[in-house]
């Protein structure tokens, strides 16, 4: 691995940069890329965003969101440097590198990173790639401004779940303390990120919570999203994975399970509040993830079949 | 008003302290009082908590919660100093001062404070009284520890709404950055504060959201809590005021209105996302509050009557 000052030296010595992130970019991917691109331009470099994706709706408030249109999918020239942010491996890049022979700089905070760059800086102790970019901009002697601070704040806010997750450190808050000196309206950023549900999503949350079940002496909450609910609310295509987290808001629960009926079967999301290892359950059905957040896809099964299978496994550990 | 170092000097020069807060104490009241009491004890002072209230359920994890039992309702001696934290006026003190002739030190962050102490330090630029107590402990050269840091973090977290509200400043994050150096489990604190709903509350949220209405071209969300819902869910006595905030999570809404049927009439909670002044509406019906958060109580009215009255007023501004 390289040091951040080595990464800074390579950047100083070159002129043109394509900057990309992982597919389906989130707040940290967009925030870190936009902050770096703005910083590079302040240094007089040519810098452009490479993205197969459009800006997600809730990130449209970010300053360079108009530059993400899904058109720039490749580095412009093989002499350019490709900087990949927040992306653990080549396969997930939102960038076509099939005929790229130039140099890749890989900067990330994920613990699993393939080190696919010619230069690599991966710091899993950072809460977000945006926290690393804050340090990189310092290393490059680039003065921050409101627009850059807004991007970095958004990235950190997204990946720390509003400073809640265990990746939030003393250093994270120190960085944010500095960002708030650049006159950003952090309340509006929270609102843009978190208060932008379609009304139908609020109704769906209502329906799902109204129907949820408390099982195993209160240790497990079971939530359903059925095709009928989606039809009745005219919901065609919506991310509903976050609904599972409502189950964890209940006192004394350990696990929340969301079953979602899809056209091909059932998608299961599992979340754990504390020590319970839901990945262990997911892996028994060919799923995977993390200890506290895992998922499984069942093809050609009904909701009721999947419910029985899953609950049987949980019964062994919770009953 | 006095300076923080004058307050520190008075504390250094005295020995015995009763420390109290406002009635119905929240995370900042409890956190700041417990942090200061622990700090005073580290200085070798006698310090005790005065409270008419019990520790709220969700704050039971705080280190001195067992010392809040509702028994100590007065200063022990008139020679003791009474330190009142996070309380804007004498009437709201969780302490009986009717026959107290000793000295009161009043430390608070609310913009409206009656300066009722012999010594007063009120800093409305602080996010929380806990943020002030952090500075006071520094001023007193008291070394923090995990237990004190936990209390101060809890106070700041509560009053900033997880670092979201506009009272959160660069200085707030700098303080929190320092607190996280004392080995506190901030994720568990978030969980204790926010993930402790009774299951029936989750069901009620479901019922309320399932029934909510979008009005005035999506600018207003109307939510109801009816006596029938509460009966069906066996909910006897539960704070439901927070339900109104769900309405603000919807994209493009400006106002959320919650009508709650009570034994004597209807309680109305009003919330605004951005600039809309809901206090203005509340005051027309004898209610009050802040621009973004107000309330009204209607006696001897039905839900449907109150709905009509309120919506008529909103129609003038939103239609």
CA distance B270 to B258: 7
pLDDT band, very low/low/confident/very high, at B211 (cuts 50, 70, 90): very high
**What pLDDT is stored for residue B5 in this prediction?**
97
CATH (domain of A178)? 3.90.1640.10
**What pLDDT is stored for residue B69 in this prediction?**
86
**What pLDDT is stored for residue A58 in this prediction?**
87
Q: Please give, rounded to a whole number of angstroms, the shortest distance from the CA of B6 to a CA of chain A.
A: 28
Q: What is the mean pLDDT of chain B?
A: 95
Are A70 and A98 in a shared domain?
yes
Are B151 and B37 in a shared domain?
yes
pLDDT tens-digit profile of B222-276? Answer: 999 999 999 999 998 788 888 999 999 999 999 999 999 999 899 999 999 878 9
pLDDT band, very low/low/confident/very high, at A88 (cuts 50, 70, 90): very high
Q: Does pLDDT of A275 surpass 90? A: no
Scored b (16 or more CB within 10 A) or e, B260-278 reads bbeeebbbbbbbbbeebbb
Higher pLDDT, B238 or A96: A96
**What ipTM goes with this model?**
0.90
Q: Which residues of A touch B218 (CB under 8 A)?
A: 199
**What pLDDT is stored for residue B181 in this prediction?**
98
Are A20 and A107 in a shared domain?
yes
pLDDT band, very low/low/confident/very high, at B128 (cuts 50, 70, 90): very high
Chain A: residue nearest B58 by CA?
Answer: A251
pLDDT band, very low/low/confident/very high, at A109 (cuts 50, 70, 90): very high
pLDDT band, very low/low/confident/very high, at A34 (cuts 50, 70, 90): very high
Among B177, B181, B234, B248, most A C-beta atoms within 10 A, so best to mutate, is B177
Chain A: residue nearest B201 by CA?
Answer: A250
Q: Does pLDDT of B179 surpass 90? A: yes
Q: Which residues of A touch B180 (CB under 8 A)?
A: 168-170, 173
CB B180 within 8 A of CB A170: yes
Cα–Cα separations (whole angstroms), residue A2 to A122, A126, B73, B201: 9, 16, 62, 51
Mean pLDDT of A15-22: 97
Mean pLDDT of A265-272: 95
Contact B206 A211 (CB under 8 A): yes
Q: Does pLDDT of A211 surpass 90? A: yes
Q: Please give, rounded to a whole number of angstroms, the shortest distance from the CA of B184 to a CA of chain A.
A: 11
Secondary structure (DSSP) of B126-172: SS-HHHHHHHHHHHTTPPP-HHHHHHHHHHHHHHHTTTTSTT--HHH
Q: Considering CB atoms only, which of A163, A173, A273 is closest to B191?
A: A273
The DSSP bridge pattern shows strands B103-108 and B119-122 to be parallel
Among A56, A131, A159, A163, most B C-beta atoms within 10 A, so best to mutate, is A163
Query: Which of B171, B194, B217 is a domain's end point?
Result: B194
CA distance B207 to B235: 13
Are B188 and B231 in a shared domain?
no
CB B302 within 8 A of CB B282: no
Lookup: tokens for B107: 């430390």
Q: Does pLDDT of A236 surpass 90? A: no
CA distance A218 to A127: 32
Note down the domain range covering A249: 199-318
Contact A197 B166 (CB under 8 A): no
Contact A205 B202 (CB under 8 A): no
Of the candidates A257, A38, A250, A14, which has an alpha carbon nearest to the alpha carbon of residue A142?
Answer: A38
**What pLDDT is stored for residue B240 in this prediction?**
86
Contact A246 B202 (CB under 8 A): yes
**What pLDDT is stored for residue B319 in this prediction?**
80
Mean pLDDT of B190-219: 95
Contact B164 A187 (CB under 8 A): yes
Are A211 and A62 in a shared domain?
no
Q: Does pLDDT of B290 surpass 90? A: no
CA distance B68 to A234: 51
pLDDT band, very low/low/confident/very high, at A63 (cuts 50, 70, 90): very high
Q: How many residues does chain A have?
A: 319
Are A175 and A279 in a shared domain?
no
Q: Does pLDDT of B214 surpass 90? A: yes
Question: For chain A, what is the domain count?
Answer: 2
Which of A8-22, A25-39, A279-293 is the least confident region? A279-293
Q: Does pLDDT of B58 surpass 90? A: no
Contact B209 A203 (CB under 8 A): yes
Q: Considering CB atoms only, which of A163, A180, A194 is closest to B249?
A: A194
Mean pLDDT of A103-110: 97
Mean pLDDT of A271-296: 91
The residue with tokens 């950047």 is: A11
**What pLDDT is stored for residue A196 in this prediction?**
87
Are A114 and A226 in a shared domain?
no
SS3 string of chain A? CCCHHHHHHHHHCCCEEEEECECCCCHHHHHHHHHHHHHHHHCCCEEEECCCCECCHHHCCCCCHHHCECCCCCCCCCCCEEEEECCCCHHHECCCCCCCCCEEEEEECCCCCCCCCCEEEECCCCCCHHHHHHHHHHHCCCCCCHHHHHHHHHHHHHHHCCCCCCCCCHHHHHHHHHHHHHCCCHHHHHHHHHCCECHHHHHHHHHHHHHCEEECCCCEEEEEECHHHHHHCCCCCCCCHHHHHHHHHECCCCEEEEEEECCCEEEEEEEECCCCCHHHHHHHCCCEECCCEEEEEEECCCHHHHHHHHHHHHHHHHC
pLDDT band, very low/low/confident/very high, at B47 (cuts 50, 70, 90): very high
pLDDT band, very low/low/confident/very high, at A17 (cuts 50, 70, 90): very high
Are B204 and B296 in a shared domain?
yes
Q: Please give, rounded to a whole number of angstroms, the shortest distance from the CA of A209 to a CA of chain B.
A: 4
Of the candidates B90, B260, B96, B85, which has an alpha carbon nearest to the alpha carbon of residue B159?
Answer: B85
CA distance A58 to A197: 9
Are A289 and A226 in a shared domain?
yes
Among A127, A164, A225, most B C-beta atoms within 10 A, so best to mutate, is A164
**What pLDDT is stored for residue B102 in this prediction?**
95
Are A124 and A179 in a shared domain?
yes
The residues, any chain, with a CB within 8 Å of residue A177's CB and separated by 6 or more, are B170, B171, B172, B173, B174, B177
**Radius of gyration for the alpha carbons in chain A, expressed in angstroms and rounded:** 21
Burial of A49 (0-12, 13-18, 19+ CB in 10 A): buried
Cα–Cα separations (whole angstroms), residue A113 to A7, A109, A123, A166: 17, 8, 10, 20
Q: Please give, rounded to a whole number of angstroms, the shortest distance from the CA of A248 to a CA of chain B.
A: 6
Are B47 and B77 in a shared domain?
yes
Mean pLDDT of A158-163: 95
**What pLDDT is stored for residue A189 in this prediction?**
96
Positive or negative: CA dihedral B91, B97, B100, B103: negative
Contact B177 A177 (CB under 8 A): yes
Q: Please give, rounded to a whole number of angstroms, the shortest distance from the CA of B219 to a CA of chain A.
A: 11
**Radius of gyration for the alpha carbons in chain B, expressed in angstroms and rounded:** 21
Burial of A44 (0-12, 13-18, 19+ CB in 10 A): exposed
Q: Please give, rounded to a whole number of angstroms, the shortest distance from the CA of B150 to a CA of chain A.
A: 14
CA distance B196 to A187: 25
Query: Which of A166, A194, A222 is a domain's end point?
Result: A194
CATH (domain of A298)? 3.10.310.30
Q: Considering CB atoms only, which of A165, A199, A218 is closest to B250?
A: A199
Query: Which of B176, B194, B212 is a domain's end point?
Result: B194
pLDDT tens-digit profile of A299-313? Answer: 999 999 999 999 999
Mean pLDDT of B39-53: 97
Are B153 and B102 in a shared domain?
yes
């Amino acid at each position: 691995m390289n040091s951040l000052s080595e990464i800074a030296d390579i950047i100083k010595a070159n002129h043109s940069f394509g900057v990309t992130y992982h597919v389906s970019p989130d707040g940290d991917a967009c925030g870190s890329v936009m902050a770096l691109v703005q910083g590079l331009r302040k240094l007089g470099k040519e810098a452009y965003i490479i993205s197969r994706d459009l800006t997600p709706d809730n990130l449209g408030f970010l300053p360079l969101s108009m530059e993400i249109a899904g058109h720039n999918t490749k580095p412009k020239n093989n002499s350019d440097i490709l900087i990949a942010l927040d992306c653990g491996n080549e396969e997930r890049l939102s960038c076509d590198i099939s005929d790229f022979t130039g140099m890749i700089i890989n900067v990330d905070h994920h613990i699993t990173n393939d080190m696919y760059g010619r230069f690599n800086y991966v710091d899993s102790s950072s809460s977000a790639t945006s926290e690393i970019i804050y340090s990189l901009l310092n290393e490059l002697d680039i003065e921050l401004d409101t627009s850059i601070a807004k991007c970095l704040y958004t990235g950190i806010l997204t990946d720390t779940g509003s400073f809640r997750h265990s990746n939030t450190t003393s250093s994270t808050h120190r960085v944010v303390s500095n960002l708030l000196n650049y006159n950003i309206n952090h309340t509006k950023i929270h609102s843009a990120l978190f208060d932008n549900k379609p009304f139908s999503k609020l109704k769906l949350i209502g329906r799902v919570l109204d129907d949820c079940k408390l099982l195993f002496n209160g240790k497990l909450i079971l939530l359903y999203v059925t095709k009928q609910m989606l039809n009745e609310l005219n919901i065609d295509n919506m991310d509903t994975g976050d609904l599972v987290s409502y189950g964890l808001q209940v006192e004394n629960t350990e696990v929340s399970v969301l079953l979602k009926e899809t056209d091909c079967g059932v998608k299961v999301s599992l979340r754990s509040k504390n020590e319970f290892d839901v990945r262990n359950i997911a892996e028994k059905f060919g799923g995977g993830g993390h200890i506290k957040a895992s998922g499984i896809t069942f093809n050609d099964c009904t909701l009721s079949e999947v419910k029985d299978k899953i609950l049987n496994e949980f019964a062994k550990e919770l009953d």
